[in-house]
């Protein structure tokens, strides 16, 4: 069994967690039961969970999830006056040492005492109120009223009735093939944003000025520096009031603004690694930076006796994407230009766009393309932070993490051979963590964006979480996500009729230990998840165009007619089209020797703010927050 690397990342210093949100499965396509052309589907989350479970199992068996206690405690002691810790402490001494360091992580203490520790999986029940959340209104609101947000809620509320009347629930003028809504879509959108904000809250509150984890008890006992948030629908194509490309609200932009409003984070770095340019995020970032720059100039030229204004939010946006794919596929000048912008400092903007190029081998990708070109995202982010104050407690790193550039994505989605090897998601996560260690107290929150084939989602999630968990310096066996191992994983997790997982035949040998462990962890992650099927077949299925809607001025959106969209006529299924995917309910496999802890989230309203915003949010039903801690299998003593 592979031994832990001496340079492995320490979970005591910067823990990693996965955030899930069941409400995100409620966003579904209801115009037809034929989902042949629907790629942004609830089952995407299932594929991601399989990859996350495999990553956790692999890390457990490699010993990566047990902290290097000598290194981690030693680093803590470097910033404290307590005596050094013995290089080979026993479990009781470890617990005592943690107590002296005042790191209030009770579950971690217990797991260290048992020589068992795994990565926490948090099933969040947090949600925001779209019409009453400060960060959402900051990004998607309007001075004259929350026109777009109110319309979005209305579209979802009326969607079922429109579809039953043979109409489209998406207003005329928006991309019918790329956007869809159902009455429960608002639950998914509010839950996605709430979960992102919860991860941001925990990561920021868990890291202090010294770079050590600091917790104050309660729901933050897990002590996190890194988080991966698996939510949908995605968000990076959505601008202030322009839904497109499967996106209705910009999750990452709202997370950045939430960090600013609630925690005083004034500098945010957003890395976007989706196949497609995050045109919505870049547009929002430009507007925020423009406003901050204007206020800065006004402050500089204001009378000397005027008190200085509160620092505004500054955001660096860096994207690696395919310039030939959506939203630039049609070659529209303004979209291609936006996806090619490189501006640093002028007019208060900090934006870097890098175009993906074909690669001939993994060596060519990493030694040439990544080293010489793609890693420039980090160099420009370094320049941004260096010129705005250097490392500080007001810095946060966010990743818009799309897996649709993966080598295993559908050929129809990635048509121009601008791909990345699966190991890219591992390498980029490690490099982002190293960057955050230097500038942002180690804070990294990665949020799911695109990725549509099951294999792309599973392999990308596995590689990415492995990188977040071990951080910079350490290495893992990259054959974990080899095609051979992915095929094993797919066969083991394939659903049969009735929703049961595939199991070995009577004469077959048992699965490998890592695979058996993956199934145990996945069964807990996926317990109770419902991948619902549509309830209507009245309307046709328009093909996904992945083209941006025609842009309208704000006044036109405000005055948009409330008349129903034109009825869609039935269309023949394309010749040769594959059979549509059918969702089936999952059956939970009984798993023993697994610790499951329930924590009451204490949600009393629709906000996840750590401070009061003075506005009453809509009441949300109280639900428990579930933190899953999965111990290694019986008899497996992690060294």
In the chain, what is the straight-line distance between the N-terminal and C-terminal CA atoms, in Å?
10
Cα–Cα distance for residue pair 530/541, rounded to 1 Å: 23
Torsion of CA 476, 456, 399, 136, to 10 degrees: -150
Instruction: Identify which of 28, 193, 151, 56 has the alpha carbon closest to the alpha carbon of residue 631.
Output: 56
* Alpha carbon distances (Å) from 49 to 23, 56, 222, 248: 15, 10, 20, 23
Instruction: Give residue 605's Cα distance to chain centre.
Output: 23
CB 442 within 8 A of CB 226: yes
Instruction: Give residue 468's Cα distance to chain centre.
Output: 12
Domain ranges of the chain: 16-66+116-530+578-629
Q: Is 159 left (phi over 0), alpha (psi -120 to 50) or beta?
A: alpha
Phi/psi of residue 626, nearest 5 degrees? -110, 125
Q: What's the pLDDT tens digit per position in 482-503?
A: 999 999 999 999 976 655 565 5
The number of residues in the chain equals: 639
The pLDDT value given to residue 616: 36
SS3 292: helix
Query: Residue 252 burial by CB count (10 A; 0-12/13-18/19+): exposed, middle or buried?
Result: buried
* Alpha carbon distances (Å) from 395 to 316, 437, 438, 459: 11, 11, 11, 30
At which residue do the structure tokens 């080899």 appear? 482
- The tokens describing 192, both together, are 């996605």
The pLDDT value given to residue 629: 53
What DSSP state is assigned to residue 617? P
SS3 401: strand
Q: What share of the chain is helix, strand, coil (3-state, %, to 5)?
A: 35, 10, 50
Cα–Cα distance for residue pair 406/463, rounded to 1 Å: 11
Cα–Cα distance for residue pair 566/265, rounded to 1 Å: 45
* Alpha carbon distances (Å) from 150 to 147, 158, 245, 424: 5, 12, 20, 39
The pLDDT value given to residue 109: 31
SS3 539: coil
The pLDDT value given to residue 319: 99
Other Cβ atoms within 10 Å of 271 Cβ, number: 26
Instruction: Identify which of 199, 52, 205 has the alpha carbon closest to the alpha carbon of residue 625.
Output: 199
Q: What's the pLDDT tens digit per position in 161-190?
A: 999 999 999 999 999 989 999 999 999 999
Other Cβ atoms within 10 Å of 314 Cβ, number: 24
The pLDDT value given to residue 482: 97
At which residue do the structure tokens 């090619």 appear? 340
- The tokens describing 147, both together, are 């026109």
The pLDDT value given to residue 549: 37
Cα–Cα distance for residue pair 491/482, rounded to 1 Å: 14
Q: What's the pLDDT tens digit per position in 499-533?
A: 556 555 544 566 799 999 999 999 999 999 998 65
Q: Sign of the C-alpha dihedral, residues 149, 151, 155, 158?
A: positive
The architecture in CATH of the region 16-66+116-530+578-629 reads 3-Layer(aba) Sandwich (3.40)
- The tokens describing 41, both together, are 């589907």
Q: Which residues contact 158 (CB under 8 A, 6 or more apart)?
A: 169
- The CA-based diameter of the chain, rounded to the nearest angstrom, is 85
High-pLDDT (> 70) share of the chain, %? 66
Other Cβ atoms within 10 Å of 487 Cβ, number: 11
The pLDDT value given to residue 228: 99
Instruction: Identify which of 502, 499, 475 has the alpha carbon closest to the alpha carbon of residue 491.
Output: 502
To the nearest whole number, what is the mean pLDDT of the chain? 77
Ranges of the chain with pLDDT below 50: 1-14, 66-117, 210-222, 506-507, 535-541, 545, 547-624, 636-639
């Amino acid at each position: 069994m592979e031994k832990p690397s001496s340079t492995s990342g320490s979970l005591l210093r910067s823990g990693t967690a996965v955030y899930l949100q069941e409400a995100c499965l409620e966003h579904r396509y209801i115009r037809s039961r034929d989902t042949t052309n629907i790629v942004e589907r609830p089952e995407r989350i299932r594929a991601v969970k399989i990859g996350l479970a495999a990553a956790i199992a692999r890390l457990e068996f490699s010993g990566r999830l047990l902290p290097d206690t000598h290194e981690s405690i030693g680093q803590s002691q470097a910033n404290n006056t307590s005596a050094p810790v013995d290089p080979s402490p026993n479990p009781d001494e470890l617990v005592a040492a943690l107590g002296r360091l005042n790191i209030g992580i009770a579950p971690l203490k217990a797991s260290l005492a048992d020589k068992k520790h795994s990565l926490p999986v948090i099933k969040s029940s947090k949600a925001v109120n779209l019409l009453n959340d400060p960060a959402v209104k900051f990004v998607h609101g309007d001075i004259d009223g929350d026109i777009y947000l109110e319309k979005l809620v209305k579209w979802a509320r009326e969607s079922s009735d429109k579809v039953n009347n043979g109409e489209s629930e998406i207003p005329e003028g928006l991309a019918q093939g790329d956007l869809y809504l159902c009455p429960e879509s608002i639950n998914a959108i509010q839950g996605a944003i709430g979960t992102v904000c919860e991860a941001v809250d925990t990561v920021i509150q868990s890291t202090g000025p010294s770079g050590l984890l600091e917790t104050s008890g309660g729901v933050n006992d897990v002590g996190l520096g890194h988080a991966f948030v698996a939510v949908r629908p995605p968000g990076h194509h959505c601008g202030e009031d322009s839904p497109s490309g499967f996106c209705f609200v910009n999750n990452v932009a709202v997370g950045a603004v939430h960090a600013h409003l609630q925690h005083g984070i004034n500098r945010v770095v957003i890395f976007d690694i989706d196949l497609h340019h995050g045109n919505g995020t870049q547009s929002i970032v430009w507007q925020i930076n423009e406003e901050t720059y204007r206020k800065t100039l006004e402050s500089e030229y204001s009378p000397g006796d005027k008190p200085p204004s509160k620092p505004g939010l500054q955001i660096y946006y860096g994207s690696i994407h395919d310039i030939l794919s959506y939203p630039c596929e049609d070659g529209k000048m303004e979209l291609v230009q936006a996806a090619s912008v490189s501006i640093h400092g002028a007019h208060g903007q900090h934006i870097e766009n890098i175009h993906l190029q074909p690669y001939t081998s993994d060596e060519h990708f990493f030694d040439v393309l990544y080293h010489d070109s793609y890693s420039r995202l980090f160099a420009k982010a370094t320049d941004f932070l260096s010129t705005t104050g250097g490392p500080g407690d007001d810095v946060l790193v966010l990743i818009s993490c799309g897996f649709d550039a993966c080598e295993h994505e559908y050929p129809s989605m990635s048509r121009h051979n601008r791909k990345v090897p699966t190991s890219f998601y591992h390498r980029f996560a490690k490099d982002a963590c190293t960057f955050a260690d230097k500038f942002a107290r180690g804070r990294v929150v990665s949020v799911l964006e695109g990725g549509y084939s099951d294999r792309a989602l599973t392999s990308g999630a596995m590689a990415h979480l492995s990188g977040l968990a071990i951080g910079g310096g350490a290495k893992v066996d990259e054959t974990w996500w080899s095609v051979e191992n992915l095929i094993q994983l797919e066969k083991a997790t394939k659903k049969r009729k009735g929703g049961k997982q595939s199991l070995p035949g009577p004469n077959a040998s048992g699965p490998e230990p890592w695979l058996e462990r993956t199934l145990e962890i996945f069964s807990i992650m996926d317990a109770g998840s419902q991948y619902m099927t549509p309830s209507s077949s009245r309307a046709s299925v328009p093909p996904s165009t992945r083209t941006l809607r025609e842009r309208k001025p704000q006044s036109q959106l405000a005055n948009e007619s409330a008349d129903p969209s034109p009825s869609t006529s039935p269309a023949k299924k394309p010749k040769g089209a594959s059979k549509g995917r059918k969702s089936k309910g999952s059956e939970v496999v009984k798993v023993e020797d697994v610790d499951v802890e329930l924590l009451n989230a204490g949600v009393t309203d629709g906000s996840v703010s750590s401070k009061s915003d003075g506005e009453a949010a809509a009441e949300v039903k109280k639900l428990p927050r579930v933190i899953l801690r999965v111990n290694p299998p019986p008899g497996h003593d992690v060294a």
